[in-house]
């Protein structure tokens, strides 16, 4: 029996969602309210357990805290696989993020999904998804992580395609699943390369072996690291596998909040943070540029989108790019810090957008309007007074993501930009990294305040529905208020200080950077020291670019001093590219999907029309012909000719002999005489 709460509670956090999944999926229809209380109760319990672990972490205040447990799963001589859990400060913080956002999602979904035809199945899949994510967080080895990794992919497929009656939802779920498979192949190859060199799947032996520099190093280690990173490219929607995440908006809005804030997309960043010691400097450069390109590319797309969820979706892609950029430049604790703050304000932004969409659906339904898109911001405007709780909560989270002081996003984004700037100062050839970072920060402030002004300010674009626009029920506003409150800086700087311009607090004390296991890499102290020297410059530039972005959005969409239409016409070419997402889907379809589809059709033709028709079927026909000939030879030649002929001859001879044997003595004497004469004549000749 496990008595240590630091092992028992994480195990309960891991398996309670799985238990709720089994109960709700098999018995939900027979339970009151289709078993939603089972799902909500189990997830809220995991959140309370995570809070206990978090409180213990704060009370102990030990940056080196670590507990683990494992058992043998497969033992085939030298080939062994152990499954286990690792509980340290990183794990506890991530468990708190996952369980909090998952709990809010479950509660939010009670009102949002009311009346859905697959209500119980929806809550069951949420439990499976949470179980899978907790499995990634608690894994102490690559196999455990990979199994949970794949299960996250399966459960996300089920949730995105919840409304599979719609072709768009069905296609989006398949797109997400298949795109992630591309990254997961790389992830698996990286795992196998590490195992073939080290002979172990557990994190600690791998780190120790790499630090020794004997088992795996150089180019092989770089390739293994990039293979591992490919898994993050898929899950965290990084360039060039970013195309699935915006389409995932076809799932229910609470699912979008769950996936985009703290779970699926965060899995890739968490994995990179956990496995940071294995990445070589060469691999980190590639990672940094992938993150920088993703951040700026997604931000450029977001500025022109009109669907409120699409704006938030590309915002998520851009923010994940920030985190990956931080990993690549060595400040991976800043990446995890931004993952924490981003989880809170981004989940809230999705809940707020869900609140707006829910109100729009209600108003349009009352107006018998089934043609107007309830997610298009061009159909909104003037919602501020009608939805005060949603508005102020969304405004707070918008200020956080824009990097405004007093809010959480300022602390984490500043840490990333400082690390990026210091990296460029010591590697001048990579000046594009901070440039892309600051440009993405400016664009983030612009498109998020564009969303605020278009949705809540100005005159209503459809005045006929305004009388029916109202605040959402308390099941939806409760999580909104909670997560909006967690967008303030004090929750991340206490108990160290109340200074909103400094990121020092419990997080920076307990989540400390570790040295890379790769020989010759900069130490964690050296990286932190370089970033510290760039801190104030990065802070100043961050405030400047955020101010420019907010001011432009205010002048264009609030004061309307500058015409958005004129800008789009003047920059028509670039605007079209941004609006059409740089034609990634179209180009993938033209240069990747269609050629492979044609190749598949060609192979199919060769298989069915040539190989099967002429070889397989031809071989069958030849066999049939030979069988016919053989049968006829056997029947007509052997059976009828030889066997039956021998029988007939025997019968004839028998008849003749029977005629000869008359039974008369004189006949037998005659035969004897005749025989003697024949012998004499024969001897005479």
pLDDT in tens, 528-564: 888 878 888 888 999 999 999 999 999 998 888 888 8
At residue 609's C-alpha, the angle toward residues 608 and 615, to 5°, is 85
What pLDDT, in 10s, does the model give residues 475-508?
788 888 888 888 888 888 776 666 666 667 788 8
Q: Identify the pLDDT of residue 245.
A: 82
Contact 95, 13 (CB under 8 A): yes
Q: Identify the pLDDT of residue 249.
A: 76
Q: Identify the pLDDT of residue 327.
A: 92
Q: Which of 118, 159, 156, 122 is nearest to 136 (CA)?
A: 156
**pLDDT exceeds 90 at position 17:** yes
Q: How far apart are CA 180 and CA 586, in angstroms?
A: 19
Q: Identify the pLDDT of residue 450.
A: 93
What pLDDT, in 10s, does the model give residues 270-326?
999 999 999 999 999 999 999 999 999 999 999 989 888 889 989 999 999 999 999
Instruction: Name the more confident of 215 and 579.
Output: 579
Model confidence at 343, pLDDT cuts 50, 70, 90, reads: confident
**pLDDT exceeds 80 at position 670:** no
**pLDDT exceeds 80 at position 142:** yes
Q: Which helix (H) or strand (E) holds 431?
A: none
The sign one gets for the Cα dihedral 240, 228, 16, 179 is: positive
- What percent of the chain is modeled with pLDDT above 90? 27
Mean pLDDT value of segment 199-215 = 84
Q: Identify the pLDDT of residue 409.
A: 87
Q: Identify the pLDDT of residue 585.
A: 84
Instruction: Give CA torsion, residues 318, 247, 362, 378, to 10 deg.
Output: 60
Which DSSP string do the residues of 339-375 spell out, in sequence order?
HHHHHHHHHHHHHHHHHHHHHHHHHHHHTT--SS-TT
Q: Identify the pLDDT of residue 548.
A: 94
Instruction: Name the more confident of 607 and 310.
Output: 310
Token digits for 282?
């060469």
Q: Identify the pLDDT of residue 231.
A: 92
Mean pLDDT value of segment 242-265 = 77
Instruction: Give CA torsion, residues 104, 106, 109, 115, to 10 deg.
Output: -160
Model confidence at 260, pLDDT cuts 50, 70, 90, reads: low
Mean pLDDT value of segment 630-646 = 72
Instruction: Name the more confident of 29 and 285.
Output: 285
Contact 281, 328 (CB under 8 A): no
**pLDDT exceeds 80 at position 685:** no
Q: Identify the pLDDT of residue 663.
A: 64
Mean pLDDT value of segment 600-620 = 79
Q: Identify the pLDDT of residue 162.
A: 81
Q: Identify the pLDDT of residue 680.
A: 85
**pLDDT exceeds 60 at position 1:** no
**pLDDT exceeds 70 at position 12:** yes
Q: Identify the pLDDT of residue 515.
A: 81
Q: Identify the pLDDT of residue 566.
A: 85
Q: What is the 3-state secondary structure (H, E, C) of 194-248?
A: HHHHHCCCEHHHHHHHHHHCCCCCHHHHHHHHHHHHHHHHHHCCCCCCCCHHHHH
Instruction: Name the more confident of 533 and 188.
Output: 188
Q: How far apart are CA 679 and CA 623, in angstroms?
A: 57
Q: Identify the pLDDT of residue 147.
A: 92
Q: What's the whole-model pTM score?
A: 0.85
Q: Identify the pLDDT of residue 604.
A: 85
Instruction: Pick from 115-119, 149-153, 576-580 the range whose average pLDDT is largest.
Output: 149-153
Mean pLDDT for all residues in the chain: 85
Model confidence at 262, pLDDT cuts 50, 70, 90, reads: low
Instruction: Name the more confident of 385 and 229.
Output: 229
């Amino acid at each position: 029996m496990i008595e240590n709460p630091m092992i028992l509670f994480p195990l309960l956090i891991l398996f309670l969602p799985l238990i709720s999944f089994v109960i709700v999926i098999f018995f939900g229809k027979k339970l009151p309210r289709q078993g939603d209380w089972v799902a909500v109760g189990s997830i809220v319990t995991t959140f309370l357990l995570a809070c206990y672990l978090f409180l213990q972490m704060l009370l102990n205040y030990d940056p080196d805290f670590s507990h683990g447990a494992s058992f043998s799963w497969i033992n085939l001589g030298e080939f062994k696989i152990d499954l286990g859990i690792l509980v340290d400060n990183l794990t506890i913080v991530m468990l708190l993020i996952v369980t909090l956002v998952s709990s809010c999602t479950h509660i939010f979904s009670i009102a949002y999904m009311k009346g859905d035809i697959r209500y119980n199945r929806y809550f069951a899949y949420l439990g499976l998804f949470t179980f899978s994510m907790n499995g990634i967080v608690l894994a102490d080895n690559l196999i455990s992580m990979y199994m949970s990794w794949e299960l996250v992919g399966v459960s996300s497929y089920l949730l995105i395609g919840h409304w599979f009656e719609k072709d768009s939802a069905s296609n989006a779920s398949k797109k997400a699943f298949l795109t992630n498979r591309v990254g997961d192949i790389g992830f698996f190859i990286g795992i196998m390369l590490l195992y073939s060199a080290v002979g172990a799947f557990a994190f600690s032996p791998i780190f120790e072996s790499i630090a020794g520099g004997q088992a795996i190093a150089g180019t092989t280690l770089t390739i293994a690291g990039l293979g591992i990173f490919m898994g993050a490219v898929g899950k965290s929607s990084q360039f060039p596998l970013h195309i699935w995440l915006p389409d995932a908006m076809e799932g229910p809005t609470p699912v979008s909040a769950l996936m985009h804030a703290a779970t699926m997309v965060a899995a890739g960043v968490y994995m990179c943070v956990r496995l940071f010691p294995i990445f070589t400097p060469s691999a980190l450069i590639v990672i940094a540029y992938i993150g920088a390109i993703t951040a700026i590319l997604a931000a450029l797309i977001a500025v022109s989108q009109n669907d409120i969820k699409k704006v938030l979706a590309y915002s998520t892609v851009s923010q994940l790019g920030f985190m990956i950029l931080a990993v690549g430049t060595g400040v991976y604790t800043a990446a995890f810090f931004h993952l924490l703050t981003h989880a809170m304000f981004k989940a809230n932004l999705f809940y707020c957008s869900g609140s707006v969409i829910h109100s729009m659906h209600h108003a349009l339904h009352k107006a018998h309007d089934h043609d107007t898109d309830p997610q298009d911001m061009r159909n909104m405007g003037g919602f501020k007074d009608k939805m005060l709780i949603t508005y102020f909560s969304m405004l707070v989270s918008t200020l956080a993501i824009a990097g405004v002081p007093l809010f959480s996003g300022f602390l984490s984004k500043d840490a990333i930009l400082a690390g990026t700037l210091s990296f460029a100062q010591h590697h001048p050839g990579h000046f594009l990294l901070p440039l892309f970072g600051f440009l993405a920060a400016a664009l983030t402030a612009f498109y998020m305040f564009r969303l605020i002004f278009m949705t809540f300010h100005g005159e209503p674009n459809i005045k006929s529905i305004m009388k029916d626009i109202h605040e959402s029920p308390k099941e939806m506003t409760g999580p909104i208020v909670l997560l909006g409150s967690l967008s303030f800086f004090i929750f991340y700087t206490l108990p160290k200080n109340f200074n909103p311009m400094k990121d020092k607090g419990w997080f920076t004390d307990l989540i400390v950077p570790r040295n890379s296991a790769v020989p010759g890499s900069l130490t964690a102290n050296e990286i932190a020291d370089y970033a510290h020297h760039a801190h104030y410059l990065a802070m100043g530039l961050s405030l400047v670019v955020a101010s420019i972005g907010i001011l432009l959005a205010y002048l264009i969409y609030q004061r309307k001093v500058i015409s958005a239409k004129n800008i789009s016409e003047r920059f028509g070419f670039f605007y079209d590219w941004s609006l059409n997402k740089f034609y990634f889907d179209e180009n993938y379809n033209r240069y990747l999907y269609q050629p492979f589809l044609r190749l598949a059709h060609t192979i199919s033709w060769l298989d069915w029309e040539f190989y099967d028709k002429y070889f397989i079927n031809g071989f069958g026909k030849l066999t049939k012909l030979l069988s016919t000939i053989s049968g006829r030879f056997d029947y007509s030649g052997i059976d009828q000719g030889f066997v039956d002929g021998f029988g007939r001859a025997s019968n004839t001879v028998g008849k003749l002999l029977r005629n000869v044997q008359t039974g008369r003595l004189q006949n037998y004497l005659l035969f004897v005489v005749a025989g003697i004469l024949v012998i004499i004549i024969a001897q005479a000749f």
